[in-house]
C-alpha cells in the first residue's frame, strides 16, 4: 500500500489498445501512478497492458467481470472459474496492485433461484427452524405451512405496506438483502483469495448520500472481504440530492466521511471521481472546471482517501458516455483538468515528509446513521414531501453536517451499529441522532450507557419512534429510551412544510419541517413549548446529557434557513470544540475546512463552494503563519489565518 495519498485514473484500454503505452506514460508523467481498468479473459490485450504498466511503473487495479445480481448456483460456479482463470494468470505480475471485486456493487430486492434458497437458509438460521419462521411470517388470518412455497411467492419480494400488521416480513426481507449482499461480496473475495493471498481486495459502492438499504449496503459488514473500501463520486449522477451546486464541495466531504467511517481501520479510496464532461448521459450534467478538480481532489485527500482515481483518463468512443468524462481531449492530449491533477500530485510528492503518515484530525462530534431507520423508510417512504421520503433520515443528517462544515468543525459519520460505545474517549463526545426513527432495544441501551459515562446526545425528529421491526415504541409501557431522554413521545403532528419551533435554552427559533413531536415528560427540564405542548427537553442521564427535539430541525435547515441551527450547534457543540486545533471564527456560508495532522504539523484545506467571494478567519493556536501550497484564483491568505476565497476556489495551507 502507498505511503502517500495517490492520484490515478480509470483507463479504457479496449477503446484504443494501440495507445496503451501513451496512456500509461501520460499517467506517470503527471505523477499519477495508478490505473484502474476492466478486465476479462481477452488475455492477449491484457497481457500487453500488464507488461506496459510494469515498464512505466504504474500500479494496476483490475476490476473483475462479476455481475451485480447473481441468479443461479451454476452462474456462481462459472464466475468462480472465470475469476480463478484471471487471478491465476496475473497474480505474480509485478504491475498488479489490487483486485477490484466488481464495479459499483448494489442489489435491489429481487427473487431468483439463488436468493430464494439463501432466504430460506437465512430464515431458518434467524428463527431456529422452518416451523418457527412460518410462525413469525404467517399472516394473522391463516398459518402458512410450506417455507419453500413462501419464499417463492412474488409478493414476498415486493416491499409493500400491510396496513394492519407488524412489518415482520418486510423488515426481514430487507435485512436479508443486506446480509445476502454481504455474503456475495465475501464469495467474490474468496474467489480471489483462494488463488492469491498476497494482493488486497477492493470494491466501490456508489450513491452513498441516500438511503443505503435501497441498494443493500451494510458497508461495515464488508470489512472481512475488503482490504480497502472505495466509493464512486460522480456529481452529475448523484448530487442532485444535495439540491444546489453550491453544496457539491460539502457533498464530497460528507461522502468521504461515510465511506471512511465504514471502512476503518482499513483505508478508503475514491475509486471513481468525475473528471470530464457529460453530453447525453447523467441527471445533472456538467463539465468540471480546473477549479472544481482542485477543490474535489483536495477534499478527498484531506478527508483521508488513500487514493483518488479519476473517471476517466480517455473517453469512450461508443455508447452513451462517448465523448465524455475524459481527462484527455479527443486527440489524447492533456486537458486543463489533467494538468491540475498533475500539479496536485506533484505537490503531494514534494511535501512527502508531511503526507507520509498524515491523517484527518480527531473530532468529538459524530452523526449516526441507522440501517434500521433506513429500512423502515424503505417501505413507509413517499415521494410527496421530504419528511415523508425514504431519504428523510439521511437528508436530516446532511442538514447537521452542512452546518458543522460552515463552522469549520469536522464531524464523523458512522453507522449506529458500528459505533464503538465501549471505547474510552479522551474528551466528551457529542452524538447527533438526526431523525433516527428506528433502532433496536440493544442500540437504545448502548446509547443510554454511553451518555451515562459523561457524553451528550442530540436526538431530533422521529428518533425513538420505532423499534427495529417498526413497532411503535411510544405505546409501550417500558419505553426503551425513557432513561436517556427523560420522557416519551406523546404525539406526532403533521403541521406543514415549514413551521417555527421555539427553544428557551438556548433562546432561539428553529425552522422545522412537517412533523411536530410532543413530549410526555417524566423527568428532565423542558426547554421548548408550543402553548401547553412540550416540544423540547434536556435530561441529565448519569454523568451525561440528552437534548431532545422531536421535530425535523435538520431537514428544516437543509430545506431553508440554516442560521438558527448554526446557533444551536454553537451552543451545543461549542464547548466540546474549544480544544480543537482549527475552526472558523464565525459561520461562513458555503465554505468548509478539512484538517490533517502529522505530529505537530497540520494541513488545512479551506474551500468555497458558492458563487460568491467569501472571507473567514481561522481560529488556531499556531504561533507561526502557515505556508500556502495551493491557492485557487485570486484567493488569498493574510496574517495568521485570514482567508479570502474566490467563488468555487480552494486554498491549502501547511502549518509548522
Which DSSP string corresponds to 114-135?
Answer: HHHHHHHHHHHHHHSSHHHHHH
Query: Contact at 8 Å (CB) between 366 and 430?
Result: yes
- Around 490, how many Cα atoms within 13 Å sit in the side-chain half-sphere? 13
Query: Contact at 8 Å (CB) between 446 and 463?
Result: no
**pLDDT digit string, tens, across residues 482-513:** 999 999 999 999 999 999 999 999 999 999 99
CA distances from 81 to 68, 88, 113, 225, 570 (A): 17, 10, 20, 19, 57
Q: What is the topology classification, in CATH, of domain 365-577?
A: Rossmann fold (3.40.50)
Closest by CA to 268, choosing from 323, 318, 205, is 205
User: In this structure, what C-alpha cell is assigned to residue 218?
Assistant: 451494510
pTM for the structure as a whole: 0.97
CA 498, CA 496: separation in Å to the nearest integer?
5
- Position 471 confidence tier, pLDDT thresholds 50, 70, 90: very high
**pLDDT digit string, tens, across residues 436-450:** 999 999 999 999 999
- Position 164 confidence tier, pLDDT thresholds 50, 70, 90: low
Q: Give domain 584-655's CATH number out of 3.30.750.24, 2.40.50.100, 2.130.10.10, 2.60.40.1180.
A: 2.60.40.1180
Q: What is the mean pLDDT of residues 11-40?
A: 95
The CATH number of the domain covering residues in 6-109+176-350: 3.20.20.80
CA distances from 72 to 66, 87, 119 (A): 13, 22, 14
**pLDDT digit string, tens, across residues 189-214:** 999 999 999 999 999 999 999 999 99
- What residues does each domain of the chain span? 6-109+176-350, 365-577, 584-655
Amino acid at each position: 500500500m502507498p505511503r502517500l495519498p495517490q492520484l490515478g485514473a480509470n483507463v479504457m484500454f479496449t477503446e484504443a489498445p494501440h495507445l496503451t503505452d501513451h496512456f500509461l506514460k501520460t499517467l506517470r508523467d503527471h505523477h499519477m501512478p495508478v490505473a484502474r481498468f476492466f478486465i476479462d479473459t481477452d488475455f492477449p490485450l491484457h497481457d500487453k497492458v500488464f507488461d506496459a504498466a510494469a515498464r512505466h511503473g504504474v500500479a494496476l487495479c483490475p476490476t473483475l467481470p462479476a455481475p451485480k445480481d447473481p441468479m443461479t448456483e451454476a452462474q456462481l460456479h462459472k464466475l468462480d472459474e472465470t475469476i480463478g482463470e484471471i487471478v491465476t494468470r496475473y497474480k505474480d505480475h509485478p504491475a498488479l496492485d489490487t483486485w477490484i471485486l466488481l464495479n459499483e456493487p448494489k442489489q435491489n430486492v429481487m427473487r431468483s433461484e439463488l436468493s430464494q434458497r439463501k432466504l430460506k437458509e437465512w430464515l431458518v438460521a434467524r428463527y431456529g427452524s422452518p416451523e418457527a419462521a412460518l410462525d413469525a411470517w404467517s399472516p394473522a388470518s391463516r398459518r402458512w405451512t410450506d417455507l419453500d412455497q413462501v419464499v417463492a411467492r412474488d409478493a414476498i419480494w415486493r416491499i409493500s405496506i400491510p396496513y394492519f400488521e407488524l412489518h415482520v416480513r418486510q423488515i426481514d426481507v430487507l435485512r436479508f438483502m443486506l446480509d445476502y449482499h454481504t455474503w456475495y461480496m465475501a464469495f467474490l473475495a474468496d474467489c480471489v483469495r483462494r488463488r492469491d493471498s498476497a494482493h488486497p481486495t477492493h470494491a466501490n459502492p456508489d450513491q452513498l448520500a441516500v438511503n443505503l438499504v435501497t441498494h443493500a449496503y451494510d458497508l461495515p459488514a464488508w470489512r472481512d472481504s475488503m482490504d480497502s473500501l472505495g466509493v464512486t463520486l460522480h456529481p452529475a449522477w448523484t448530487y442532485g440530492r444535495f439540491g444546489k451546486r453550491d453544496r457539491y464541495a460539502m457533498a464530497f466531504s460528507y461522502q468521504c466521511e461515510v465511506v471512511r467511517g465504514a471502512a476503518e481501520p482499513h483505508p478508503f479510496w475514491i475509486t471513481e471521481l468525475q473528471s470530464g464532461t457529460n453530453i447525453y448521459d447523467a441527471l445533472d450534467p456538467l463539465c468540471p472546471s480546473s477549479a472544481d478538480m482542485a477543490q474535489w481532489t483536495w477534499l478527498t485527500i484531506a478527508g483521508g482517501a488513500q487514493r483518488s482515481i479519476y473517471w476517466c483518463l480517455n473517453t469512450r468512443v461508443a455508447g452513451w458516455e462517448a465523448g465524455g468524462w475524459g481527462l484527455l481531449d479527443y486527440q489524447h492530449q492533456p486537458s486543463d483538468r489533467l494538468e491540475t491533477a498533475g500539479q496536485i500530485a506533484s505537490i503531494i510528492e514534494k511535501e512527502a515528509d508531511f503526507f507520509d503518515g498524515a491523517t484527518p484530525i480527531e473530532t468529538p462530534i459524530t452523526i449516526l446513521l441507522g440501517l434500521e431507520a433506513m429500512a423502515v423508510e424503505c417501505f413507509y417512504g413517499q415521494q410527496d414531501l421530504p419528511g415523508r421520503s425514504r431519504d428523510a433520515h439521511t437528508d436530516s443528517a446532511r442538514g447537521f453536517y452542512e452546518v458543522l462544515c460552515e463552522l469549520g468543525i469536522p464531524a464523523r459519520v458512522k453507522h449506529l451499529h458500528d459505533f464503538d460505545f465501549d471505547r474510552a474517549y479522551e474528551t466528551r463526545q457529542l452524538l447527533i441522532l438526526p431523525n433516527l426513527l428506528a433502532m433496536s432495544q440493544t442500540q437504545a441501551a448502548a446509547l443510554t450507557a454511553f451518555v451515562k459515562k459523561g457524553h451528550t446526545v442530540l436526538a431530533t425528529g422521529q428518533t425513538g419512534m420505532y423499534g427495529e421491526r417498526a413497532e411503535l415504541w411510544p405505546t409501550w409501557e417500558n419505553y426503551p429510551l425513557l432513561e436517556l431522554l427523560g420522557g416519551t413521545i406523546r404525539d406526532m403532528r403533521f403541521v406543514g412544510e415549514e413551521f417555527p419551533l421555539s427553544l428557551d435554552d438556548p433562546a432561539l427559533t428553529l425552522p422545522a419541517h412537517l412533523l411536530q413531536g410532543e413530549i410526555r415528560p417524566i423527568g428532565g427540564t423542558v426547554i421548548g413549548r408550543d402553548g401547553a405542548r412540550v416540544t423540547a427537553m434536556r435530561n441529565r442521564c448519569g454523568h451525561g446529557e440528552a437534548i431532545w427535539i422531536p421535530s425535523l430541525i435538520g431537514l428544516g435547515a437543509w430545506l431553508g434557513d440554516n442560521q438558527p441551527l448554526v446557533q444551536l450547534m454553537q451552543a451545543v457543540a461549542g464547548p466540546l470544540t474549544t480544544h480543537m486545533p482549527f475552526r472558523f471564527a464565525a459561520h461562513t456560508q458555503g465554505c468548509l475546512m478539512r484538517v490533517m495532522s502529522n505530529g505537530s504539523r497540520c494541513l488545512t484545506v479551506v474551500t468555497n463552494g458558492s458563487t460568491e467571494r467569501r472571507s473567514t478567519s481561522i481560529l488556531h493556536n499556531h504561533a507561526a503563519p502557515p505556508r500556502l501550497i495551493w491557492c485557487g484564483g485570486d484567493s488569498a491568505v493574510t496574517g495568521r489565518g485570514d482567508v479570502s476565497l474566490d467563488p468555487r476556489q480552494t486554498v491549502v495551507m501547511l502549518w509548522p
